[in-house]
Amino acid sequence: MQVHRAHVYRLYPTPQQLTLLARTAGVVRLVYNLALEQRRTWGGRPYRGGRSRNFGSKGLSGELSALRREVDWIGAVSQTAQNQALIDLDRAFANFFEGRARFPTPRKKGVHDSFRHVGREVAVRRLNGKWSEVRIPKIGWVRYRDTRPLRERSDGAVEIRSATVRLGPDGAWQVSIALRCEVAARPLPARAVGVDRGVAIPFALSDGSVWRLPETVARRERLVSRLQRKLARRTRGSQRYRLLRSRIAKLRGSNARARKHLAHVLTTHLARTFGLVAIEDLRILNMTRSAAGTVEEPGRNVAAKSGLNRAILNVGWHQFELLLSYKLEETGGVMVKVPARNTSRECAECGHVDEGSRKNQATFVCTACGNAANADHNAAINIVNRALRGDEARQRRNAPLLDGEGNALAPDEPSTPSGTTGVNSPNGPPEIHLSSGGGRC
């Protein structure tokens, strides 16, 4: 099976290449904003003879060529990257007219600076066991840290579809290399698991394991809060303001990488170990909406709701869901979404639903049968049981909830993935601690 995947690497350019990267990103941003301004000003107006004018990427490519001949510093930048900016604008307007996004806005300097090249103009060569180079048009060969090999097709060749170069908020340049590669079919594991997503415990599995973020994430969040208060007292645009803002961006980048690392390790373990993974059908966008309200109808408990929104976004529920979906697609597994109603109030033993059974965040004691369990573990068992009963709210792929021999999938026993260690906690299920250097997935 052929799939499209992208590998992200950090670039280590020379001082001269840093200047060229910033110049290319600036010119691409200018071309995008000029094309957007033309479409906002002249779009829909008749042209000569009453004919409508094409302001799409094909219609503006001729004007871009004329602009490159007139302005030397625009012509010095790769034309392919500028044409890709026009294609990005076409996609932005298509998303707007189809109701998937808002009306396109101008790009700003320092906010998601990036540019893209097509695969035929990009080449990669390996230097040694740690370093490789990527050839970027009009910039040259730029070194990057080779943290993982590029995935190949069935014939052993690496097919590069595109390469996107972007500037991170911490000031580091990255390249995302999109590939078309081959994925070998694997037998479907006849094992099922439920995943309960929370705030205090990010991910609790029905097999009894618990996955948490490192403690350094919370410490960095507290440090960021203090630095933001200090930043508010600095003069905007001053040297001390820029240095402090850069420090905050680096701390946030570290937390983002920690969240993504946990999501990658967990989703890889789930995709390789289980044939069915059940999760709750959560409307994360609605759950993280502001409670401020309006002037006429102000909201209640705004500060508490803001803290809850921040905690939900800090865990990365949606990122986990996206990674899990494509990894299960590769392994032939199934992701099932079940209704989230009463999963934390229902007893996994007798099925009795009572709000009073949830004593606190960590404890569940059924008021009917007396079953005592960890609340998150109990919810995860309810999630996988609903999936096996066929109570899914939305199924990602049309695959039967059976193994290769036609037998029904059943919840699995506790397991510990490679590269991790299970620790039995007296107050709940075993926790998973990531080992250093793991998570290459």
Question: Which positions are catalytic?
Answer: 196, 280, 376
Q: Tell me the Ramachandran region of residue 300: left when phi exceeds 0, alpha when psi lies from -120 to 50, beta otherwise.
A: beta
Kindly give, in sequence order, each residue whose CB lies less than 8 Å from that of residue 321, ignoring residues fewer than 6 positions away: 279
**Which tokens hold the place of 318?**
């949606």
Residues of the chain by 3-state class (helix, strand, coil), percent to 5: 40, 25, 35
N- to C-terminal Cα distance for the chain?
A: 19
**Which tokens hold the place of 123?**
């080449």
**Which tokens hold the place of 147?**
């943290």
Q: Quick one: DSSP state of residue 59?
A: H
Task: Give how far the C-alpha of residue 206 lies from the chain's centroid of Cα atoms, to the nearest Å.
Answer: 24
Phi, psi of 250, deg, nearest 5: -65, -40
CA-nearest of 67, 69, 37 to 55 is 37
Rounded CA separation 408/389 (Å): 10
Question: Strands, E, within 72-188: which ranges?
Answer: 114-118, 123-126, 131-136, 140-145, 159-167, 173-182
Rounded CA separation 342/357 (Å): 11
Kindly give, in sequence order, each residue whose CB lies less than 8 Å from that of residue 62, ignoring residues fewer than 6 positions away: none
How many CB atoms lie under 10 A from the CB of residue 227? Answer: 15
Q: Tell me the Ramachandran region of residue 390: left when phi exceeds 0, alpha when psi lies from -120 to 50, beta otherwise.
A: left
| Four-residue CA torsion sign, 176, 178, 202, 429 | negative
Rounded CA separation 212/336 (Å): 23
Kindly give, in sequence order, each residue whose CB lies less than 8 Å from that of residue 420, ignoring residues fewer than 6 positions away: 265, 269, 432, 433, 434, 435, 438
**Which tokens hold the place of 330?**
């590769």
Determine the angle formed by the axes of helices 57-70 and 15-42, rounding to 10 degrees: 130
